[in-house]
Structure 1
């Protein structure tokens, strides 16, 4: 039985002190009503957020200037909120909206770009064990691994946090597990099925809880990605592709061929996935990735010159696949041909730590640039994807762990 309800979010118990910035010009009439101090700027201003041991910092992506440094207890994670302005910061007790303070209002043939001081807001979605966050089709879905509660909201409502909190829809699963859920454009919910001991597949239900489709052919189901409106979920022996109400199993070429982390693209039919074959490994360091064509449910493998980690996958704006290797290079893959085309040297060689909480070089793509952290040197390297080279490096005060951002 699955229970659905609606509720307002709980307030955060985190310390939510803001950070000062330069004085801004008065708000234009086109700015959101809750952003009285917003300043209109000529071009979008990308911003980065990085976690470190003890907090989260927001940086100007162009200059590296620290715009906010917020102390947060415990292990901190970053998740895009779905509006290209806010992130959801996972920490003890829930997920709190972090306003990066840079966004563009689209007016069709033109846009208006704005900046304001970044801040950790008071809006928190309570969660016993904050899990996967999935923005898709104007809805953002949060999974609580500890309770099996799924929460969904409209990320556009985050722009008005000073006036009202987003309306939340919630569903409660019979069995809590390390799962993931997503709402499609029709209000239907796709969620994983499992227990604290094992996960077996997915279900698609209406907003009222009526089952539309299901599959139990996905042992160890983990992670999701989208190729346009087609959803993909990883399994220990392949993937499930969900197109409308049709669920198709794509088998791995190996009996155990785990695809647990994926990177999709809004206009490409191809999904990039990792690929592991040792079910007994404490930490497998794979040297192949998978490319799934969601149009014909095919899967191909690509050999790489190095291993990589779960924070190594990315996609360029035009759909190329990127993999940050432990040899220090970003490997570029043509997904249509499933071949490695070039490698871009970025960091010194590194080894993935056994503990997944520990920092390791991380890849994040924002617009036409790829950002790569190097915890050993406390730097963030910036790659111009058009020129295929590192154009600058940003020195930071702490060893960066997770990295995310907005295009501004």
Structure 2
């Protein structure tokens, strides 16, 4: 995009945020303003990577192809939640990184911002960690079940401020409340974490996802869908097809933010596709997979098999629609991350990240080469 067009587009965005009935006063703070950040006309996506040899963390800008080294080394896992990346270190702590790219959604329009990436320190706990959050609260669950609640507004200002602690098998901020699964029950609790009212049951919870339809929690017998309307919470169990075994159940859900079609590994059988709207499961018998993701409600489900082949399946019919040989030396830590137009797959052996146009027969749009072997990957800025 040319500079003139970018300036014009940014102007239109700001004008669209002015109050109806007249121009905004020059002295007023623009709607959506974020102190210390630059507003842009396009999403500021970032890829946070860690080197498989040294564990050194980097941020890769997919627009420029440039990488920036982060003050984080010996990284063993990476998880992302929109703006932030959470890095599990060899010492067992969780390092919080502001990636420097984020989106502010006002419903009828959005704002895109960028700022320098920064280190926000570490949280003590025990791996594996699970991080969930919304615009108000970030919940960090440690492997011992301890959940630390962080004030998101203060996190955006560079402060790690705890608002509470609790113990849970799973926790998801949703609808100005917390959904907390513990001892087979799911409760709706206040943001401070005190006990609340039961909304459903979920034995052995594993995996969560926030969709347009509500929150999904993976349970031993299927998925529990929790919805909220005008402050009232309800739940529905979406049970597995008959014959599903413990080894074949879903334990982690992946999807494009905003969509209601989820993908998960199905043990050694292949891939589960959970259509939240239709309340149905579909099993894609691909055999064992290294990574999966769902790109949208009417766009492909992606899977990377152990032979290094990336596959696309129709989420409604399960039919394979495309395949491409992508990795020459597949890695157990390979991941697929998706946004509204592209998928990104890390390739440690080639020291690269592949950018895939999943709507064009899995066409390889670009290969972003790096100076590191990207063993772990997450996408931020959405």
| TM superposition score normalised by structure 2 | 0.76
Question: Would you say the 8 A contact 1:137–1:184 is kept in 2?
Answer: no
Separation in structure 1 between the aligned mates of residue 270 and residue 128 of structure 2, nearest angstrom: 30
From the superposition, tell whether residues 267 and 85 of structure 1 become closer, same or farther in structure 2 (CA, over 3 Å).
closer
Separation in structure 2 between the aligned mates of residue 231 and residue 110 of structure 1, nearest angstrom: 23
Question: Would you say the 8 A contact 1:215–1:247 is kept in 2?
Answer: no
1:396 to 370, 373, 381: 370
Separation in structure 1 between the aligned mates of residue 350 and residue 319 of structure 2, nearest angstrom: 31
Aligned-residue Cα RMSD (Å) equals 3.1
Match for residue 210 of structure 1?
196
From the superposition, tell whether residues 211 and 254 of structure 1 become closer, same or farther in structure 2 (CA, over 3 Å).
same
From the superposition, tell whether residues 119 and 248 of structure 1 become closer, same or farther in structure 2 (CA, over 3 Å).
same
Question: Would you say the 8 A contact 1:373–1:400 is kept in 2?
Answer: yes
Match for residue 78 of structure 1?
78
Separation in structure 2 between the aligned mates of residue 296 and residue 117 of structure 1, nearest angstrom: 42
Separation in structure 1 between the aligned mates of residue 110 and residue 221 of structure 2, nearest angstrom: 45
The aligned length equals 339
Q: Which runs of 5+ in 1 are unaligned?
A: 1-27, 174-178, 194-200, 277-285, 354-359
Question: Would you say the 8 A contact 1:213–1:247 is kept in 2?
Answer: no
SS in 2 for 1:188: strand
From the superposition, tell whether residues 118 and 289 of structure 1 become closer, same or farther in structure 2 (CA, over 3 Å).
same
From the superposition, tell whether residues 191 and 236 of structure 1 become closer, same or farther in structure 2 (CA, over 3 Å).
closer
The answer to whether the aligner puts 1:328 opposite 2:285 as a matched pair is: no
SS in 1 for 2:328: coil
Q: How do residues 127-166 of structure 1 correspond to structure 2 at under 5 angstroms?
A: 127-136=125-134, 138-146=136-144, 148-161=145-158, 164-166=159-161
| 369-378 vs 181-190, which moves further | 181-190
- Cα shift at 1:261: 2.0
The answer to whether the aligner puts 1:254 opposite 2:237 as a matched pair is: no
Match for residue 240 of structure 1?
224
From the superposition, tell whether residues 154 and 367 of structure 1 become closer, same or farther in structure 2 (CA, over 3 Å).
farther
Separation in structure 1 between the aligned mates of residue 173 and residue 272 of structure 2, nearest angstrom: 25
Q: Deviations over 1:19-75 (max 9, x none)?
A: xxxxxxxxx975533x2xx445443332210122422111111232112243424x4
The answer to whether the aligner puts 1:169 opposite 2:200 as a matched pair is: no
From the superposition, tell whether residues 329 and 154 of structure 1 become closer, same or farther in structure 2 (CA, over 3 Å).
farther
Match for residue 16 of structure 2?
none
Separation in structure 2 between the aligned mates of residue 339 and residue 227 of structure 1, nearest angstrom: 24
| TM superposition score normalised by structure 1 | 0.72
Question: Would you say the 8 A contact 2:256–2:339 is kept in 1?
Answer: no
- Cα shift at 1:347: 2.2
Separation in structure 1 between the aligned mates of residue 42 and residue 135 of structure 2, nearest angstrom: 26
Question: Would you say the 8 A contact 1:104–1:114 is kept in 2?
Answer: yes
From the superposition, tell whether residues 41 and 266 of structure 1 become closer, same or farther in structure 2 (CA, over 3 Å).
closer
The answer to whether the aligner puts 1:228 opposite 2:212 as a matched pair is: yes
Q: Deviations over 1:108-129 (max 9, x none)?
A: 766554433212223x433233
Question: Would you say the 8 A contact 1:364–1:404 is kept in 2?
Answer: yes
Q: Deviations over 1:188-240 (max 9, x none)?
A: 322243xxxxxxx4422422303413425x3x432122332433233455333
Q: Which runs of 5+ in 2 are unaligned?
A: 1-27, 228-232
The answer to whether the aligner puts 1:58 opposite 2:59 as a matched pair is: yes
Match for residue 405 of structure 1?
379
Separation in structure 2 between the aligned mates of residue 113 and residue 295 of structure 1, nearest angstrom: 29
Q: Deviations over 1:330-356 (max 9, x none)?
A: 222222333332224422263x65xxx
